[in-house]
Structures are given as structure tokens and as C-alpha cells.
């Protein structure tokens, strides 16, 4: 049985919902309190046993490479000033036994296309995908929960969330044939259906475990919804030959690609943040709305 040791972070999207902030900087570098979204995603992966972090980047995304590289000038300055706690924070961003690999997507042609750019790095291994703008707060990392299901079922696993049906046209929506607790045996999947056409209120959110042959299915795709190469369409074809399970994870998801989701995440994470929690709660109690 092949273990999940590789994760893909597609971070080459344009982030138009967050303009002008994302004109020259990546949406994935937006901080929630003091840590960029992409670092939360990397930590989730590492804490789930992943050993290779593969980033699909585009133009304007080079600060992501810098963030995961060492910073000798900053580090020696922190050493000189004896700021050991800060030095540790900077040095532990990537553990020593974890590799970072960066590939370029030459145009934002869609999530399926972004993932296809990693074909030669993934080779024949099953792999995970994390969309860093879907931030998930949970006791056990969401990806770890999904890897446990993968290990049990030996099949693709998609993270699911119950959504408001009127928002169906923002998600990939699944139809299922059977369910055991919070694990669904998926029958079909459609990208962004109208609320009327949606077969359930179960939307796919930004965590996937996929077999390497997903690349064969992506390679056959024509542009779909929004004129993009859609991962959902490849997953739909994969369903013809493979079992795929949907998993309603334990945890709270924040859509940090949207302004409201980003603001909610900031509040929730600030409430729990050691350094600011007390003052922030006090501030919230007295705020006039």
C-alpha cells in the first residue's frame, strides 16, 4: 500500500475577489493574525505526515518561495539581538526532513491545469491537494483525518461540507449512493451547478486525496465551467472506474478567498492566539455594532 507523502498546493490563481490586495502579492500570503495562509496549509500537511510540499506558483507569487526559504540576514540579526523566540519561529517554518518543490503554471487555466503541472513530480504516487485559501481549524488536522480514511479504503477521498443550497453554484456538488456516519460513497459530481440542478447540499472544499492516474483524466479534458480545466471534471471521469469517498470532516472551514470568510477566520484565530487573546476578547466585548 502506498502512503500519502506528497501534497500539492495550487497557488497560481489570480485571487480577483481580493483585489486590490492581490494585484502584486499572492492571496495565500495574506496573514491570519501573524501567519500567512500558506503556512497554515503547510503545517497541516506536515502534521499529517507529508514529506514533500509541491507548490504550483504563477507570476506575482515569488514571495511564497522566499517564505519557505532560509533568510540568513534576518536570522543573523535575530541572533545578534538575542531574539531567540523569534529566531525559532523563523527557522521552524519548514522542518528539516521536509522538501519544498516549486513549479510554475504559465497561465491560470484552472485548478485541474494547475495540478497537471505537477505530473512529473508526483510520478505514480497517490497524493494530497490542499487549497490554502480554505483554512480549516480542527483538533486533528483535516488532511490527517482524510489520510486515515484513505488508508482504510485505498480510494480517493474528497473533503465535504454541508452548504446552503442557494450557494451550490460556488462549489463542486456531489451525489452519493450510500453513507456510513460521515463518509459518503460518491455517485456523481458536478462543478458549480445551479441550486436547482444540485443533487445534494454537499459541497467539495479544498482538500483532496487523489490517485496518480487522475493525470490521465485531466489530460483528456477540454475547458469547462468558467472556460477553465476543472479538477471536478477529471474527478467525474475517474468515478467511472474508481470508488471515491466524500468525507464530512471534523472542524470549521473558513473561505479565506472571500472577504467575509477571511474576516471570520481572523476573529476566530485572534480569540485563540496566546499573545492577543485577552486584549482582543476585551475589545470585542466593548465594541459598538
CA distance 240 to 242: 6
Which residue in 29, 45, 131, 135 binds ligand UTP (CB under 6 A)? 131
Report the candidate in 94, 88, 43, 47 with the shortest Cα–Cα distance to residue 67: 94
- What are the residues whose beta carbons fall under 8 Å from the beta carbon of 224, sequence distance 6 or more? 110, 191, 230, 232, 233
What are the b/e assignments for 45-60, b being 16+ CB within 10 Å?
Answer: bbebebebbbbbbbeb
- What are the residues whose beta carbons fall under 8 Å from the beta carbon of 47, sequence distance 6 or more? 141, 144
- What are the residues whose beta carbons fall under 8 Å from the beta carbon of 197, sequence distance 6 or more? 168, 190
**Per CB under 6 A, which region of 104-112, 186-194, 216-224, 234-242 contacts ligand UTP?**
104-112
Based on CB atoms, which residue is closest to ligand UTP, 117 or 149?
Answer: 117
Which residue in 67, 113, 207, 253 binds ligand UTP (CB under 6 A)? 113
Per-residue x/- track, 20-39, ligand UTP (CB under 6 A): -------x------------
CA distance 104 to 120: 13
Q: Is 221 in the site for ligand UTP (CB under 6 A)?
A: no
Based on CB atoms, which residue is closest to ligand UTP, 133 or 161?
Answer: 133
Rg of the chain taking only CA atoms, in angstroms: 19
Per-residue x/- track, 53-92, ligand UTP (CB under 6 A): ---x------------------------------------
Which residue in 4, 8, 10, 37 binds ligand UTP (CB under 6 A)? 10
Q: What torsion do the CA atoms of 143, 149, 155, 160 make, to the nearest 10 degrees?
A: -60
Which residue in 110, 126, 172, 224 binds ligand UTP (CB under 6 A)? 110
CA distance 52 to 126: 12
How many chain residues interact with ligand UTP (CB under 6 A)?
Answer: 21
Q: Is 154 in the site for ligand UTP (CB under 6 A)?
A: no
Q: Is 105 in the site for ligand UTP (CB under 6 A)?
A: yes
Which residue in 108, 193, 223, 251 binds ligand UTP (CB under 6 A)? 108
**Per CB under 6 A, which region of 5-13, 118-126, 214-222, 241-249 contacts ligand UTP?**
5-13
Q: Is 111 in the site for ligand UTP (CB under 6 A)?
A: yes
Based on CB atoms, which residue is closest to ligand UTP, 6 or 27?
Answer: 27
In angstroms, give the least distance from the CB of 31 to ligand UTP: 16
Residue appearing with cell numbers 458549480: 192
Which residue in 2, 3, 5, 16 binds ligand UTP (CB under 6 A)? 16
Maximum pairwise Cα distance, the chain: 63
Residue appearing with cell numbers 507523502: 5
Answer for the pair 168, 231: CB distance below 8 angstroms, yes or no: no
Based on CB atoms, which residue is closest to ligand UTP, 13 or 211?
Answer: 13
Q: Which residues bind ligand UTP (CB under 6 A)?
A: 10-17, 27, 56, 105, 108-111, 113-114, 131-133, 257
Amino acid at each position: 500500500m502506498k502512503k500519502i507523502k506528497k501534497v500539492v498546493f495550487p497557488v497560481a490563481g489570480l485571487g480577483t475577489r481580493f483585489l486590490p490586495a492581490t494585484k502584486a502579492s499572492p492571496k495565500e500570503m495574506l496573514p491570519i493574525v501573524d501567519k500567512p495562509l500558506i503556512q497554515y496549509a503547510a503545517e497541516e500537511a506536515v502534521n499529517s505526515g507529508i514529506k514533500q510540499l509541491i507548490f504550483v506558483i504563477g507570476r506575482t507569487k515569488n514571495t511564497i518561495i522566499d517564505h519557505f526559504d532560509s533568510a540568513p540576514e534576518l536570522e543573523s540579526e535575530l541572533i545578534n539581538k538575542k531574539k531567540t523566540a523569534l529566531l525559532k519561529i523563523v527557522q521552524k517554518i519548514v522542518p528539516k526532513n521536509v522538501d519544498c518543490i516549486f513549479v510554475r503554471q504559465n497561465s491560470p487555466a484552472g485548478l485541474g491545469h494547475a495540478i497537471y503541472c505537477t505530473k512529473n513530480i508526483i510520478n505514480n504516487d497517490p497524493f494530497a491537494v490542499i487549497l490554502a485559501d480554505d483554512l480549516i481549524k480542527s483538533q486533528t488536522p483535516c488532511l490527517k483525518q482524510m489520510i486515515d480514511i484513505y488508508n482504510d479504503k485505498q480510494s480517493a477521498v474528497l473533503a465535504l461540507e454541508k452548504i446552503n443550497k442557494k450557494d451550490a453554484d460556488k462549489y463542486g456538488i456531489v451525489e452519493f449512493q450510500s453513507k456510513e456516519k460521515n463518509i459518503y460513497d460518491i455517485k456523481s459530481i458536478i462543478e458549480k451547478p445551479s441550486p436547482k440542478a444540485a443533487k445534494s447540499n454537499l459541497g467539495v472544499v479544498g482538500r483532496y486525496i487523489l490517485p496518480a492516474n487522475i493525470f490521465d483524466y485531466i489530460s483528456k479534458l477540454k475547458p469547462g465551467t468558467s472556460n477553465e480545466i476543472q479538477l471536478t471534471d477529471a474527478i467525474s471521469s475517474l468515478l467511472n472506474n474508481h470508488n471515491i469517498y466524500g468525507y464530512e470532516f471534523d472542524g470549521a472551514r473558513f473561505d479565506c478567498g472571500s472577504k467575509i470568510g477571511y474576516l471570520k477566520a481572523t476573529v476566530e484565530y485572534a480569540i485563540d492566539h496566546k499573545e492577543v487573546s485577552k486584549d482582543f476578547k476585551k475589545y470585542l466585548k466593548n465594541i459598538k455594532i
